[in-house]
Amino acid sequence: MSLDAAYLDYPRRRHGYDHDLYAWSALQERRPVAWPGGANVAVWICLSAEVFPITPSDTPFRAPGHMATPYPDYRHYTARDYGLRVGIYRLLDVLAAAGASASVAANAALADHAPPLLADIVSAGHEVIAHSTDMNGTIATGLPEEDERALIGASLDRLQAATGTRPQGWLSIARSQSWNTHRLLREAGVRYCCDWVNDELPWRFANGLINLPLNHELSDRQVIAVQQNSAESYTQQLLDAFDWLGREAEESGGGRMLPIHVTPYIMGLPYRIGAFEQLLSALKARGAWFARPGEIIDAWQAST
């Protein structure tokens, strides 16, 4: 018995994906990107400035790094609070010494929790990215659309009121989005998000929103806290990545990007901060272009 001729017809069969969110694209087939000063690699440093409520919410899910033992979980709560009281200032000092621009993914609750810290971040010239309301402000499919719209709006509004500038960028907690997020971000006037990790250069959604990939595998949380590597091993892995990207850039004639995601309560500890200082010194000596997200996107758009 032969198959019906229509059996193999599938309306979604085509080159690329089975969705219309964005187009498939191979990195080596794109127009080369030129970074300022002829740099081969743009280094984007993103610090997380996160406010963890002492009692976590599991709706729609509990944020990674949240309180774990029976509440009140003072041990984990104060370890995270250390990042905002001590660790982040060490990181800001190291950035200043290296002359490195960066971004800070900030919960809007920081405006109430630590307004002087937000002021110090802005005065140092770093870019603020909206990172939800606090670490209970998670997003996933199942969160009502109006609730998600309100969460995004409140995050942007509160950070704008505190800093005088409306954030251009958005980083979801755990990089988690719903089916509605990229549309709601666009409606809210957000220029770019950092949640989708499927590339090493910016790319654009079909609706115009730009994605600036923030690599998770090379975050200090993943390498140090999860994989239990040393700070020195973390530094070496990042330098290895930079060197590889630099060789690719030289061979292709187009710039590459290395995102470095740093957590103040992890890397800001006194026995790790020295490794971070050495990392920035080594990257600077290798000719890295330390850039804020908006600067990277501007250069990418000018090239493409």
Q: What pLDDT is attached to residue 1?
A: 59
- Give which of 267, 264, 250, 278 is closest to 50, Cα–Cα: 264
**Cα–Cα distance measured from residue 109 to residue 91, given in angstroms and rounded to the nearest whole number:** 20
State pTM to two decimals.
0.94
Q: What pLDDT is attached to residue 13?
A: 67
**Could you list the pLDDT tens digit for every one of the 304 residues in the chain?**
577 877 777 766 667 788 899 999 999 899 999 999 999 999 999 999 999 999 999 999 999 999 988 889 999 999 999 999 999 999 999 999 999 999 999 999 999 999 999 999 999 999 999 999 999 999 999 999 999 999 999 999 999 999 999 999 999 999 999 999 999 999 999 999 999 999 999 999 999 999 999 999 999 999 999 999 999 999 999 999 999 999 999 999 999 999 999 999 999 999 999 999 999 999 999 999 999 999 999 999 999 8
CATH fold of 33-303 reads TIM Barrel (3.20.20)
Beta bridge partners of 43: 258, 290
Q: What pLDDT is attached to residue 117?
A: 97
- Residue showing tokens 């870019």: 127
- Give which of 219, 105, 91, 112 is closest to 168, Cα–Cα: 105
- Give which of 154, 163, 155, 152 is closest to 126, Cα–Cα: 163
CA angle, 125 then 223 then 89, to 5°: 30
How many residues comprise the chain? 304
Name the residue ranges covered by the structural domains of the chain: 33-303
